[in-house]
Amino acid sequence: MPKNSLKYVPFRRRREGKTDYRKRKGLVLSGKPRLVVRGTLNNITAQIIVAKPKGDEVIVSSHSRELARKYGWKAPRGNLPAAYLTGLVCGLKAKASDIGEAILDIGLHSPSKGARVFAALKGILDAGVDVPCNEEKLPDEKKVEGEHIAKYAENLATNPEEYQSKFSRYLEQKISPDSLPKHFAEVKADIIAAFKNGGKKT
C-alpha cells in the first residue's frame, strides 16, 4: 500500500510514445550529432540533429518527397529502396556540410533486421558518413535495390486482378514494378551525379 498520494507522471512525449528520455540523454551525452530516421506509411525522413541548450538544431535533412521532386523517383516513397535513397541524400548533404560522423537515433522503433530505418542508414553509410552500427541489421543489397518487389510482381503477373490491386500506385506513375531495380539504379546515379555538380541537377 502506498505511503502517500504522490504519483510519478511521465513526460507528455513519453506518454504519447514519442520519446524515450533515458535513451535520448545517452545520445545527447555522446557529444555526436544524432542521425534521426523516422518513417510513416508513405514517406521517410532522415535528419542530422545537434542538441543545443535551447533545443535541437537540424543541420541537414532529407525527405522522400525530394526523390520524386528532384530526382525523378516514380515508385512509392515509403518502401525499402526509397528509404535507402533518402538516407543517401541525407548522407551526401551531411558530407557537403562537413559532417563526417553521427550516432543513430531510431527513437522508440524496434531495431528489426532489414527495416526501413536500417535501409536509410545504409544509404548514409554509403555516402561516407561514419555511423556506428551492427552491420547484421542492414538489409542486403538486393532488397535495397527492390529485387524482392520485382520478383513478387513477376509472380503475380499471372493474376491480373491482384497485380492491379497490389501495384496500382506503380501503374499510376507509369512504372512497372518489375523494372524497379533498374529505376532505382538510375535514380541513385542521378543523386550521386547531382551532388558532384554541387547538389543540383544539370
In the chain, where are the structural domains located? 18-196
CATH 3.30.420.100 correct for 18-196: yes
* Single pTM value for the model: 0.84
State residue 202's pLDDT score: 36
29-51 tens-digit pLDDT: 566 898 999 989 899 999 999 88
Helix (H, G, I), strand (E, B) or coil at 60: strand
51-74 tens-digit pLDDT: 877 778 899 999 999 999 999 999
Tell me the percentage of the chain whose pLDDT exceeds 70: 80
Lowest-pLDDT range of 20-24, 81-85, 119-123: 20-24
Of the pLDDT bands very low, low, confident and very high (cuts 50, 70, 90), residue 1 is very low
133-157 tens-digit pLDDT: 889 999 999 999 999 999 999 999 8
Rounded Cα distance, 34 and 158, in Å: 46
State residue 119's pLDDT score: 96
- The dihedrals phi and psi of 90, each to the nearest 5 degrees, come to -60, -45
Rounded Cα distance, 82 and 144, in Å: 8
